[in-house]
Structure 1
Amino acid sequence: MSISLIVSAIIFILIAARQWLPPAFRIWHIMTLGAVVLLALRQITLVDAFFAVDWDLILYLFSVFSIASALYDTGISAQISKRILSRKGPNTILASYVLIMAVCAALLTNDAAAVIGVPIALLMAKEMKWGVVPLLILLCATVTIGSMVSPVGNPQNILIANEGQFDNMFLVFAEWIFIPAAITLILSIFWLKRFLKFNESNHNVAIKPRKDNDIAQKWPPLLSAILLIILIALASVLHNVEGIYHPTLGQIGLVACSPIYLASHERRRILREVDWPTLFFFISMFIVTGSLLKSGSLQFFLRQSGIDLAEPETVTFVSFFASQLFSNVPVVEIYLNLLEGHDTQTLMMLSAISTVAGNLFIISAASNVIVLQQAEKFGIQPFNFWQFFLLMLPVSIISVVTSYLYIIWYGSLQQ
């Protein structure tokens, strides 16, 4: 057994047991420590570690985190909550919030939507006298499910879209995943909204809407968000057009967030408030998976077991349960490196199941951790491990079954 495999197993165990570790010991600490250990033990060189990192993905995440931070910093999050609360009836208010967060996740990634959605959820909980815990858990489910339908909805989808080289990546994801995602989201709302009546003392909510005269420039983050959406849409449409330059997602993100850092008076504060821990988590994750792949341990195991990674049942089983131990992004990164060829159905199954796997445990998706950390920043004691698991177990079952059955059925139509 290689040292890389042993260190990776220890990382799996520590992440799985994180809720029993000291609160100051975060998930990104575990992953970064693992990467440092592997570098110190020379299981991967600095050069190999550098090239193991998907820097394009890191640049894109930095860009969307910057936009999300700026949107909150300018008070736009508070204004969105006011618009939502102006709707008539609690069901309409809840549906509006879920729809906005789902669309935000699809366009700006689930992690960015989590950053934007937490202060809105806290303001809504205080105004509507809803329970903070179930509303934050609903936010986790919403951004996870909403991110399924877009190639830029989450980091694992970005990896899969880059691997698949689809003619029109947005159309492919919509054809294969939109319907099961919509069904899952609707059923999840019906299940989770019943728990909102349990109000666990919202007087501790520390967030307050900003007054208009305290709000900084609004146009740079708004322009950045609009630019990001337009540039991604253009890149998808012009993907196969020859004779023109095709920018990467990271380059698109940097161009989109440039108004914030060039024109905003709050650029320094926005830069400080970027979710750096999550970026460090992903950089370290790529180093750990790069070392594991370099060791050849997983390749040897697969050759000996005779497992066909392209089988739908194998994709479903491995991507779902492995994501519970090590989060879905590193699982997809490893899976893509081990596949010996793939078709669209295999990639879409990997995308859908690895994404909805984030609905089971807090550690299964980085967006869950972001929601938790953002709530703590506002002085809220958010959901614990068992609260999340018990409320999200039915959501996980529904999402996996629905996604698997639909992708199998749609795949049969394409043959």
Structure 2
Amino acid sequence: MTAGAVLLLVTARISPTEALQAIDWNVIAYLFGVFAISHALFASGISERVSNRICADMQSLPRVLFLFFCFVTVVSAVLTNDAAAAIGTPLAIAIAANLGIRAALPLIALCVAVTVGSMFSPVGNPQNLLIVADGHFKNPVGTFLVWLAVPGLISLGFALFWFWFCLAREPKGGAPEHVTPDAQTMRAWPALAATGLLCVLVVTDSFAHGSSWMPDLPLGALSLIAAVPLFLFSNQRLQLVKEVDWHTLVFFVSMFIVTGAVLKSGVLQTWLSPWHDQLDERALVTTIAFFGSQVFSNVPLVEIYLNLLKDHDTATLMLLSGISTLAGNLFILSAASNVIIVQQTEKHGVEPFQFWQFTRYVLPVTIVSLIACYAWVALMTSIIR
């Protein structure tokens, strides 16, 4: 990704100034804070205790998967999908170790739970934030629950049974070792305080959206504020900075530059222009949101789509949100959270899943999820009208 960004800069497809403007520093700041918090949870042994609790009864695989999916879904809905990806990776590896299997399949299940879980709330992922800002909903949390909770629950239910079926047939052997810190010397309470503060800030900001009693702070600022207890009271501040996943941050900076060059070229705008008057039709929204997200990534696609829409009715915006989110369940590069999980897995010294292996396992979930989302939005639209 960095090589592509450098090539675009060298060939003047995008200027240095335009490249800096294309980078979403809010996302970078959010990831920095989340990575610091997730490492603190890991280094203090909190992640290990959570994984031990989830894996307490490995004889009951459905129970383990259910608790794992519930935990990841809540984290994804409250703290965004990228946070859930970073926090959930050690848990998925621990499940694989307890089952005595390779880590790939539990990690793929984590990707699905992270993506679907982010559908439930307006802060679940970046494209939801764009849609909330554009839709001016009076109650963003309630709106997302009404329109996307049912297809989200159907998708998670099917994914739970699907991965239960797949994991029960996964051959033993090649299991990763339990991922544990070398020495759990980091204090636990700063990590817990930072996590709790991030939850409170994100949820409060969501409910206070558009009100006058709380300043409208970006997620990046909330993440950095939440990380303050770590850098004030942790006994390993330098280690925290060192263990931030800088490789992933560089990947995102480069991705924003590449995406900025694509947007500057006008390719996406030209591609959508022949259907300008039909962009609110459900079939077209579904097709463009899903396949366009594979080519251009869901966040820039949603941003351009919102600029081209004439009527920003709730049904169209919710369908755009749901389909563009579920598009992440097709290829590894379809969602940034998938990339984070791969990077975090390699950081822990464990072999992640492969490109086509990922697609093979998530394709059934993707099909069911898309049908559920499309059908529910269509049903809700007919009821409301």
TM-score (norm 1): 0.84
Distance 2:239 2:276 in 1: 53
* Maintained 8 Å contact 2:101/2:175: no
Tell me which amino acid in the other structure corresponds to 1:241.
S
Cα distance, 1:130 vs structure 2: 4.6
Trace 1:294-373 onto structure 2 (pairs within 5 A).
294-304=264-274, 306=276, 308-373=278-343
CA shift in 2, pair 1:357/1:301, >3 Å? closer
Q: Bigger shift: 360-369 or 85-94?
A: 85-94
Unaligned runs of 5+ in 2: none
- Equivalenced residues, count: 384
User: SS in structure 2 opposite 1:205?
Assistant: coil
CA shift in 2, pair 1:307/1:284, >3 Å? farther
Distance 1:54 1:383 in 2: 28
Distance 1:275 1:210 in 2: 16
Cα distance, 1:232 vs structure 2: 1.8
* Maintained 8 Å contact 1:101/1:113: yes
* Maintained 8 Å contact 1:35/1:285: yes
CA shift in 2, pair 1:244/1:121, >3 Å? closer
Per the alignment, residue 158 of structure 1 pairs with 129
CA shift in 2, pair 1:144/1:304, >3 Å? closer
Per the alignment, residue 366 of structure 2 pairs with 396
* Maintained 8 Å contact 1:147/1:154: yes
CA shift in 2, pair 1:197/1:396, >3 Å? same
Per the alignment, residue 239 of structure 2 pairs with 269
CA shift in 2, pair 1:68/1:214, >3 Å? closer
Q: Bigger shift: 109-118 or 143-152?
A: 109-118
* Maintained 8 Å contact 1:38/1:288: yes
Cα distance, 1:405 vs structure 2: 0.9
Per the alignment, residue 13 of structure 2 pairs with 43
Distance 1:305 1:135 in 2: 40
* Maintained 8 Å contact 1:126/1:202: no
TM-score (norm 2): 0.90
Q: CA-atom RMSD, angstroms?
A: 2.4
CA shift digits 1:314-358 (9 cap, x unpaired): 111011112223433333344334434522222211111111111
Distance 2:175 2:349 in 1: 7
Cα distance, 1:144 vs structure 2: 1.0
CA shift in 2, pair 1:266/1:330, >3 Å? farther
Cα distance, 1:63 vs structure 2: 2.0
Per the alignment, residue 227 of structure 1 pairs with 197
CA shift in 2, pair 1:39/1:401, >3 Å? same
Cα distance, 1:383 vs structure 2: 2.2
* Maintained 8 Å contact 1:224/1:258: yes
Q: 1:89 aligns with which of 60, 66, 69?
A: 60
Q: 1:57 aligns with which of 9, 17, 27?
A: 27
Per the alignment, residue 78 of structure 1 pairs with 48
Tell me which amino acid in the other structure corresponds to 1:295.
S
CA shift in 2, pair 1:167/1:281, >3 Å? farther
Cα distance, 1:237 vs structure 2: 2.5
Per the alignment, residue 12 of structure 1 pairs with none
Trace 1:122-201 onto structure 2 (pairs within 5 A).
122-201=93-172
CA shift digits 1:91-110 (9 cap, x unpaired): 21221111111111112222
CA shift in 2, pair 1:82/1:175, >3 Å? same
Cα distance, 1:222 vs structure 2: 1.0
Tell me which amino acid in the other structure corresponds to 2:204.
L
Per the alignment, residue 26 of structure 1 pairs with none
Distance 2:93 2:264 in 1: 45
Cα distance, 1:244 vs structure 2: 4.8
Q: Bigger shift: 124-133 or 385-394?
A: 124-133
CA shift in 2, pair 1:244/1:186, >3 Å? closer
Q: Which runs of 4+ in 1 moved over 4 A?
A: 199-204, 304-307
CA shift digits 1:257-283 (9 cap, x unpaired): 111122212222222222333333333
CA shift in 2, pair 1:295/1:138, >3 Å? closer
Could you tell me the percent identity over the aligned residues?
45
CA shift in 2, pair 1:49/1:344, >3 Å? farther
Cα distance, 1:302 vs structure 2: 3.5
Unaligned runs of 5+ in 1: 1-29
